Structure 1
Amino acid sequence: MHDTAAVEYPSFPYPVTNYQEDNRGQFHFSSRGGWMNDVNAPLYYRGVYHLYYQHAPNSLVWDTMHWGHATSTDLVHWQQKPIALDPGIHPGDLWSGGGVVDTGNVTGLKNGDDDPIVVFSGTNGVQVFYSLDGGNTFKTFADGKKVVKPNARTSRDPKVFWDPIAKHWGMVVWSDEGGNGADFYTSENLLDWTFGSRYQADWLFECPDMVRMPFEGGYKWVLSDGSGEYVVGDFDGTTFHPLNRMQQKINQTDTHAGGGYYAALTFANLPVKDRVVSMAWQGENQGTIWTGNATFPVDQRLKRTPDGPRVVSTPIPEIASARTSTRTWKDRTLDARSAKQLLAGVEADTYELEATVDVRDAERFGFRLHTSPDGWFDRDVVYDAKAQTLDGTALKPDHGKVKLRLLVDRGQLEVFGNDGDVYQSHNVNFDSLPGGNGLEFFVDGKVHVESLTLHELGSIWKTSGQSTLSTDIAGQWYPASGNWTDVAGGKQGQAGGDAFYLSKASGSDFTLEGDVKLVSGTAAALTFRANKDASRHYTANIDADAGVVKLWRPGRDIATHPLAIERGRIYHFKLTAASTAIEVWVDGTLMIDATDTEQSAGQFGLNVFRGTGIFQHLHLTPGS
């Protein structure tokens, strides 16, 4: 037995991150930067949940794979950690895989107080990596020698599990030997593996999971693939025996790689006996420095149905730790008109919605999410009482009632029906800009609302990262256009044309101060009295090409003052606005004193034009 010598890991590659980008999930995990895809080796060890994942840290698209790493003490609030597996240190294709905690030291690798955490990766054969510091850094076992030799043209995605009846470890690996299917292996020590059997199924494509679940006083095994298709059966220690070869789906959406649900895995070594927790990859969401996120964790269990045992999924109860406020409506009989009035005036950005509705007199009902005063909404969720479907998925009422539970985040929507009989995960770019946070209940026919509860959910990132922009301007910031990132000197904007970074806070009369540096290109500026997409605004800039300080708005240059602008130098701006009067001061000198009647109030922000600018130390004083 030989392992590579410990190698010093590269420095932590992530800059300080602004988690308030418009479509960045506020309670769904996403990597601080770079590309994220499949969930890898989720596990629990000594009070900490570890989430590893497929990761390209310096790319917004799939690239050379690393294993990213994040930890949590409650499965809700996550903290980014340095990369766990790095291709500059660890050999082989670091593609998807699973992991376990070797609590009995069957590997013999233990050297200190921590139990070895052993993870499995590699394509066309399986490699082993192990951690002796609680899952933070990993060594390569046997110089990367493959502990499972390839027996097919293509194989990948090993998942390891404990079989308490056979009292040995099992491994399931996807391969294309004779078509799609899963190969099963067994081991006493996690390092030496013996082929056991093969389960052939055309539907079973990559990222398999194998998990044991309680069922009616006993246990069954669930074998699933990357798209969440699964069969339930028995496992005799080497061979899987399905109860029915017709597969079901864990998540009732169009699941595929890069879609709203893919490559889910269940956590290993959980502290609660028989608890099954799963997370998946959502791939249709991205921001300026990141791509992809994870689904919110769900508890899974087996339920008896006329078609046999089925997997049902519900949000983990730990979600309560993210709730910031709760409002409840009870015992309401509603028609179309009164339903529309029920939530009038309610606004929420990120939230959990629970409803129990009697549908015996209804044709359909549902919720319109992120509505605006002009009637626009970003997404609706509809229960069709006649067809007995929830967003197209079959869902029969239970004694005439339907339960809905929605998780609404910045770029994610998860829908649950009747305590998990329906589970749907979507990436939705919800418009969390000002004026678009309404919520509407709608009814065709008549319903009786037994209860309706709205829990607003706060950001899980409050202690995990913040923008490098120092400002006392209240309200969340978002990029209205252009590329905005956090750098050591402050907030950096880059664009080939105009780009705006705006706060949701607004004002009418005020004094606004801030430091502006034009790094390269034409102009950098402070913006004020803007609307939410900056199609209307006032902007005061330094323009290096024209050699001026300029106050402008769309359609009009209001005033200019000559000034030789040095790129790379910091200029201190002070802007005062009182009714129609606007003053622009630069480095303590009054440059512009003008009047304009176009915009009386609006949001604050930053602007770059055909170049790169860095902004810092924004200070706002209300009033003149």
Structure 2
Amino acid sequence: MTQLKKHSEQLVLANQIITNTKNNLNDASYRLNYHFMAPIGWLNDPNGLIQHNGVYHLFYQFNPYSYHWGAMHWGHATSTDLVHWKHEPVALAPSESYEYDETKTEMGCFSGSAVMDGDVMTLIYTGHLEGREPKEVQAIATSTDGIHFTKHAANPVINGSPKGLSNEFRDPKVWRHGELWYMVVGTAVDNLGAVALYKSSNLTDWEYVGIAAKSDGTQGDMWECPDLFPLGDKYVLVTSPMNMENGKSMVMVGSMDYEKGIFIPESQREIDYGIDFYAAQTFEDEKGRRILIAWMDFPFTEFPSKSDKWSGAMTIPRELTLDKDDYVRSQPIQELTALRDNHTHHDKLVLSTDEMRPLHNDNTFPHSYELKCKWVLAGNNNHGKVGLCLRQSKDGSEQTTVFYDLAANEVTVDTTQAGELSYQAVNKASLLNNSNEITFHIFVDTCSVEVFVNDGEATLSTRIYPDSASNSIALYTEGIEAAAEYIDIWTLKNAEIS
């Protein structure tokens, strides 16, 4: 039998390799300027998002030993503003019989969440070991200082999935309602994605309540990273369905019946329509805001940064709100304005039909900027396109296009010309209503584009890998006259993640 190592020993090994190798990435290509990344190695799902005593904690799936997915640890960072982050010591490392075997690659402390139980920060996570039965269990670890964590003697607190559920049983999200703790766990029933619901009075003794929600047959065969939370006067369920046609980040709005232990959905859509958005997790901060962060990658695409021996980044934090029509809107958090530096403003620019209008001809825009603009389309047309070309090369052969198609009532982010290393995709988001007005709020970084449409009506997050010299921005129309009522561009400072 493989000899287990104490948790403390595993943490020392992980933190040593970070200290010894973190400077190797100082000159790595495509490192982002204001998005969160791990100091080295591989990063995926955000975990354990929480704020306590004014400090935000971001835990995340982390492999310090490789830039490939593998032995999962929990990396950890803290912040006072969700923009500038400080790397903390690794919080969790695989060490127990249900999560560690040095002969395996599929093992570790998988995704989960965090809560405050009085003054004790508690991490709830999945212990995963391929080849073991059960292969996935739920466990907890606690801390009184929010930095150093001890795995609980009662682990695993849930020793495998209930009868009738899949052995795919992971990603616990815990919250408090009334006098009890509740937990949803991602799983499947009869090859249909589902979430299992548990309740507890003490975080260690959990009672299975039943299936809170499951796929209608079109929503994937396993639901990863479930997150069930109140928003406004509704409840919202966010999941990452596996093998769902034309979908990967689902948000449902509905109601929660705690007596019956079920979530009743009333509407469904994608929470982000870009290719590089997965495993979203939310939390309520001390201001009462519902904040979302997601992994800004997708498991089944290439990772060009691996050539520099690193992988993975997070989206910018977004605030979720529920509008009067019970529609979830997602917008960049206000704190990001602290990164704004040089400002360029353009008053109304009128474009004729089929016109390309460069904003600058000298490629003066850097890789990291924020752009806001409003388009007004001429006349009573029912067709035509208006948009922007971002990270455009001098000859126009390389670019990422963001445009509104009036006939289809869709916003598209097209990366088919975004660079040789970029994943070539056409990402589309349908809008609620046809209109001759549309607003874009766009964040561009070294290798990413995040587009917010009409005050958060739709978002599209995409990684791109263009040539470093491709820096131009241009406006364009196709088949219609239109005016850009205003354009504001701010260069964004480096977030100085330490």
Indicate whether the TM-score tops 0.5: yes
> Aligned equivalents of 1:428 and 1:47: distance in 2?
34
> Aligned equivalents of 2:73 and 2:7: distance in 1?
18
Deviation readout 1:482-535 (Å, 9 max, x if unpaired): xxxxxxxxxxxxxxxxxxxxxxxxxxxxxxxxxxxxxxxxxxxxxxxxxxxxxx
Q: Does 1:340 align with 2:362?
A: no
Deviation readout 1:68-110 (Å, 9 max, x if unpaired): 1222221112222222111247952534332333243xxxxxx
Corresponding residue of 2:439: 403
**Does the 8 Å contact 1:297/1:316 carry over to 2?**
yes
**Does the 8 Å contact 2:282/2:290 carry over to 1?**
no
Corresponding residue of 1:141: 152
**Residue 118 of structure 1, CA deviation:** 3.0
Corresponding residue of 1:621: none
Corresponding residue of 1:282: 297
**Does the 8 Å contact 2:115/2:123 carry over to 1?**
yes
> Aligned equivalents of 1:26 and 1:300: distance in 2?
24
Q: Does 1:190 align with 2:191?
A: no
Task: Report 1:521-560 matches (<5 A).
Answer: none
Taking structure 1 as reference, are residues 400 and 67 closer, same or farther at Cα in structure 2, changes over 3 Å only?
A: same
Corresponding residue of 1:96: 110
Taking structure 1 as reference, are residues 281 and 332 closer, same or farther at Cα in structure 2, changes over 3 Å only?
A: closer
Q: Does 1:45 align with 2:52?
A: yes
**Does the 8 Å contact 1:23/1:430 carry over to 2?**
no
Alignment partner of 1:168 out of 170, 174, 180: 180
Instruction: Please state whether the residue corresponding to 2:337 is helix, strand or coil.
Output: helix
Instruction: Please state whether the residue corresponding to 1:175 is helix, strand or coil.
Output: strand
Task: Report 1:19-38 matches (<5 A).
Answer: 19-38=26-45
Taking structure 1 as reference, are residues 54 and 5 closer, same or farther at Cα in structure 2, changes over 3 Å only?
A: closer
Taking structure 1 as reference, are residues 207 and 142 closer, same or farther at Cα in structure 2, changes over 3 Å only?
A: same
Task: Report 1:256-267 matches (<5 A).
Answer: 260-267=276-283
Corresponding residue of 2:490: 455
**Does the 8 Å contact 2:45/2:111 carry over to 1?**
no
Instruction: Please state whether the residue corresponding to 2:137 is helix, strand or coil.
Output: coil
**Does the 8 Å contact 2:409/2:434 carry over to 1?**
no
Taking structure 1 as reference, are residues 161 and 272 closer, same or farther at Cα in structure 2, changes over 3 Å only?
A: farther
The RMSD of aligned alpha carbons is 2.6
Instruction: Please state whether the residue corresponding to 1:340 is helix, strand or coil.
Output: strand
**Does the 8 Å contact 1:223/1:231 carry over to 2?**
yes
Stretch moving more, 339-348 or 439-448: 339-348
> Aligned equivalents of 1:375 and 1:223: distance in 2?
38
**Does the 8 Å contact 2:115/2:175 carry over to 1?**
no
**Does the 8 Å contact 2:157/2:205 carry over to 1?**
no
Deviation readout 1:320-358 (Å, 9 max, x if unpaired): 111111111123322258751444445232111111111
Alignment partner of 2:126 out of 112, 117, 121: 121
One-letter identity of the residue aligned with 1:291? S
Sequence identity (%):
26
> Aligned equivalents of 1:221 and 1:382: distance in 2?
29
Corresponding residue of 1:354: 372
Taking structure 1 as reference, are residues 76 and 336 closer, same or farther at Cα in structure 2, changes over 3 Å only?
A: farther
One-letter identity of the residue aligned with 1:200? K
Taking structure 1 as reference, are residues 360 and 388 closer, same or farther at Cα in structure 2, changes over 3 Å only?
A: farther
> Aligned equivalents of 1:276 and 1:19: distance in 2?
30
Task: Report 1:245-260 matches (<5 A).
Answer: 247-254=268-275, 260=276
> Aligned equivalents of 2:269 and 2:228: distance in 1?
15
Taking structure 1 as reference, are residues 145 and 252 closer, same or farther at Cα in structure 2, changes over 3 Å only?
A: closer
**Residue 398 of structure 1, CA deviation:** 7.0
Alignment partner of 1:326 out of 333, 343, 363: 343
**Residue 292 of structure 1, CA deviation:** 1.4
> Aligned equivalents of 1:360 and 1:187: distance in 2?
59
Q: Does 1:441 align with 2:475?
A: yes
Instruction: Please state whether the residue corresponding to 1:243 is helix, strand or coil.
Output: strand
**Does the 8 Å contact 1:416/1:422 carry over to 2?**
yes
TM-score (norm. length: structure 1): 0.65
TM-score (norm. length: structure 2): 0.80
Deviation readout 1:536-582 (Å, 9 max, x if unpaired): xxxxxxxxxxxxxxxxxxxxxxxxxxxxxxxxxxxxxxxxxxxxxxx
**Residue 235 of structure 1, CA deviation:** 1.4
**Residue 154 of structure 1, CA deviation:** 0.8
Stretch moving more, 330-339 or 29-38: 330-339
**Residue 291 of structure 1, CA deviation:** 0.9
> Aligned equivalents of 1:62 and 1:214: distance in 2?
33
> Aligned equivalents of 1:396 and 1:333: distance in 2?
26
Corresponding residue of 1:368: 389
Alignment partner of 1:427 out of 463, 469, 479: 463
Alignment partner of 1:235 out of 238, 246, 256: 256
Instruction: Please state whether the residue corresponding to 1:348 is helix, strand or coil.
Output: coil
One-letter identity of the residue aligned with 1:150? S
**Residue 274 of structure 1, CA deviation:** 4.5
Corresponding residue of 2:406: 385
Instruction: Please state whether the residue corresponding to 1:320 is helix, strand or coil.
Output: helix
Q: Does 1:300 align with 2:334?
A: no
**5+ residue gaps in structure 1?**
105-113, 255-259, 465-624
**5+ residue gaps in structure 2?**
100-106, 129-135, 242-247, 413-427
Task: Report 1:199-218 matches (<5 A).
Answer: 199-201=213-215, 202=217, 203=219, 205-215=222-232, 218=233
Greater strand share, 1 or 2?
1
Q: Return the index of the structure with the highest Cα Rg.
A: 1
One-letter identity of the residue aligned with 1:370? R
Instruction: Please state whether the residue corresponding to 1:321 is helix, strand or coil.
Output: helix
**Does the 8 Å contact 1:405/1:415 carry over to 2?**
yes
**Does the 8 Å contact 2:296/2:461 carry over to 1?**
no
Taking structure 1 as reference, are residues 232 and 395 closer, same or farther at Cα in structure 2, changes over 3 Å only?
A: closer
Taking structure 1 as reference, are residues 390 and 211 closer, same or farther at Cα in structure 2, changes over 3 Å only?
A: same
Corresponding residue of 1:7: 8
One-letter identity of the residue aligned with 1:272? K
Corresponding residue of 1:73: 80
Instruction: Please state whether the residue corresponding to 1:271 is helix, strand or coil.
Output: coil
Instruction: Please state whether the residue corresponding to 2:357 is helix, strand or coil.
Output: helix
**Does the 8 Å contact 1:22/1:432 carry over to 2?**
no
Instruction: Please state whether the residue corresponding to 1:182 is helix, strand or coil.
Output: strand
**Does the 8 Å contact 2:45/2:294 carry over to 1?**
no
- Greater RCO structure (CA 8 Å; 6+ sep): 2
